[in-house]
Amino acid sequence: MIGKAYLVGSGPGGLGLLTLRAREVIDSADVVLYDQLPGEEILSTLPQDAELIDCGKYGGNHTLKQHEIEALMVEKVREGKTVVRLKGGDPFLFGRGGEEIEVLREHGISVEVVPGVTSAIAVPEMVGIPVTHRRYASQVTFITGHEDPTKPESALDWEVLSRLKGTLVILMGVKNLPAIAAALAVHGKDPATPVAIIERGLRPDQRVTVGTLSDIVEVARARGVRPPAVIVIGGVVELYGGTEE
């Protein structure tokens, strides 16, 4: 007897943007391996008769390492259980869902991916910042900030990124914001380029911080910006019409 695995994106936060398919799959689960990013509103509705396994990262400490999460998924499915791996946003956008589906397939396990609304688009647009706009940006580039952009083995080409005329959206970039801003500036990005940081998007304590490439590090430090946050760099930030709370 063998079960089935689901890689489920919970969206950017809150039940309102959780898809109907995600809700259906979560409610049918025997086991849910979850991160903290879906947020308390969603996590509080996980089925209480299911085995709930916390896989989150707190203050830089992983509750479970990635290989342990993957091994648990395989183990539980082989016990004949319906296993949901629940992630914030979309499981394939910097969510390591691609690695997990590889492992599951290697073990001959049936897996379904349930896409989620990505915070990379939803969080900026919910504060009035479109990631593309005919006047400002005809392209958008999503990058991870969860690496040191100055290290030799970086997979990010900062020279190319600094020349792009469109929008840069950075996930998991708060910790490395000083290095990111410096790398873009060194490679010629206009220091007057607008930047917005949206903390805890779509949650009651959401906060927006705006500045320019030249001062955003100082502004963010002064305001005590903390993750999780989405960083938007480009002219579209000028369309933000709110206030900094």
Please tell me the distance from the alpha carbon of residue 22 to that of residue 161, in angstroms, as a whole number. 34
Catalytic option among 27, 54, 57, 157: 57
Q: Can you tell me the distance from the alpha carbon of 170 to that of 93, in angstroms, rounded to the nearest whole number?
A: 11
- What digits encode the pLDDT tens for the residues 196-210? 999 999 888 899 999
Q: Which run of H or of E encompasses 50?
A: none
Distance separating alpha carbons of residues 80 and 6, to the nearest angstrom:
13
Question: Is-catalytic flag, 190?
Answer: no
**Contact status, residue 184 vs residue 143, Cβ threshold 8 Å:** no
Per-residue pLDDT of the chain (245 residues; tens, 9 = 90+): 789 999 999 999 889 999 999 999 999 999 999 998 898 999 999 999 999 999 987 555 667 899 999 999 999 999 999 999 999 999 999 989 999 999 999 999 999 999 999 999 999 999 999 999 999 999 999 999 976 445 566 789 999 999 999 999 999 999 999 999 999 999 999 999 999 999 999 888 899 999 999 999 999 999 999 999 999 999 999 999 876 66
Dihedral over Cα of 36, 38, 43, 46: its sign: negative
Annotated active-site residue 57? The verdict is yes
User: Which one of 1, 27, 30, 35 is the catalytic residue?
Assistant: 35
Q: Give yes or no: 126 in active site.
A: no
As given in the structure block, the two tokens for residue 89 are: 């946003």
pTM: 0.89
User: What does residue 9 show for φ and ψ, rounded to 5 degrees?
Assistant: -90, 130
The Cα–Cα gap between 56 and 193 comes to 34
Question: What span, in angstroms and rounded, lies between the C-alpha atoms of 204 and 185?
Answer: 34
Q: Which of 126, 148, 172, 175 is catalytic?
A: 172
Rounded CA Rg of the chain: 19
Residue for token digits 């005919």? Answer: 134
